[in-house]
Amino acid sequence: MTVYPEGLTVTALVESANGGIVGINKELDVFGGYDEEFYVASPSSDEALIDGINRCARRFYGADRDAPLAYEPSGTDFLSPALAEADLMRRVLAQAEFSDWLWGFFGHDMVETLATRLAPVNVVDFADGQLAHYCGLNLSRAWMLEGIAGALAADDPRRPRLLDLANQHRTLGLPDALHPDYMVAHWAPTFAIYLITGRGLR
């Protein structure tokens, strides 16, 4: 059994999720890629569905500007509405188009301000069924920030800032996902597995 920093293992995550995760066939090396195979479902090949998603995403969000990050997080969030929107649009738009869209969405001061406006959130009460959602919020923010950064050009000045912010969320969120309280243990490990397998980057 490979042991990761702070004892984090996929086995520990699975056990923490009370057997609610299926499809893990081999041990997964969290920080160094795959030890062996990891079986996941194939993405949809329904071209009509994908085309419909793309068209609706452009119609719903293509003109959005100045994301209201001051409203985040609410007292119950386990996803960031703004980052989820940006994560969708990076899958829909070509790189240059997405780059321009992102400047408008997060503002031209995002390099200087995003780390403050989207700082990781500390969980003050793991037994609170609402505040425990922040365990998932930090993890989902991490995978969305990584995906957004990966959609930008290698020399884009936003990319290292986004990756650093993603790592801050990852560092705080992964240990929290192993908290033994039921309000965390029955769901947050699934978010951790989604993050460490890189599924959110696809």
Q: In this predicted model, what pLDDT tens digit does every residue of 54-72 receive, in sequence order? A: 999 999 999 999 999 999 9
Mean pLDDT of 104-125: 94
| pTM summary value | 0.79
pLDDT tens, residue by residue, 138-152: 999 999 999 999 999
The DSSP code sequence of the chain is ----GGG--HHHHHHHTTT------S--BTTTB-SS----PPPP--HHHHHHHHHHHHHHHTT--S--GGG---SS-SS-HHHHHHHHHHHHS-HHHHHHHHHHHH-TTHHHHHHHHT-----S-TTSTTTTHHHHHHHHHHHHHHHHHHTS-TT-THHHHHHHHHHHHHHHHHHHHT--SHHHHTTHHHHHHHHHTTGGG-
Q: Report, as an integer, the average pLDDT of 77-83.
A: 95
Question: Could you tell me the pLDDT band of residue 19, with boundaries at 50, 70 and 90?
Answer: very low
The arithmetic mean of pLDDT across residues 81-98, rounded, is 97
**Contacts with 146 (C-beta within 8 Å, 6 or more apart), sequence order:** 162, 163, 166, 200, 201
Q: Which residues pair with 29 in a beta bridge?
A: 33
- Token digits of residue 127: 């037994």
Q: For 88-93, what is the mean pLDDT?
A: 96
Q: How confident is the model at residue 201 (pLDDT cuts 50, 70, 90)?
A: confident
Do the Cβ atoms of 105 and 135 come closer than 8 Å?
Answer: no
pLDDT (0 to 100) of residue 196: 92
pLDDT tens-place string over residues 27-57: 333 333 433 333 333 455 688 888 999 999 9
- pLDDT at position 72 is 94
Predicted confidence (pLDDT) per residue in 165-198, tens digit: 999 999 999 999 999 999 999 999 999 999 999 9
- Asked whether the bond before 175 is cis by omega within 30 degrees of 0, the reply is no
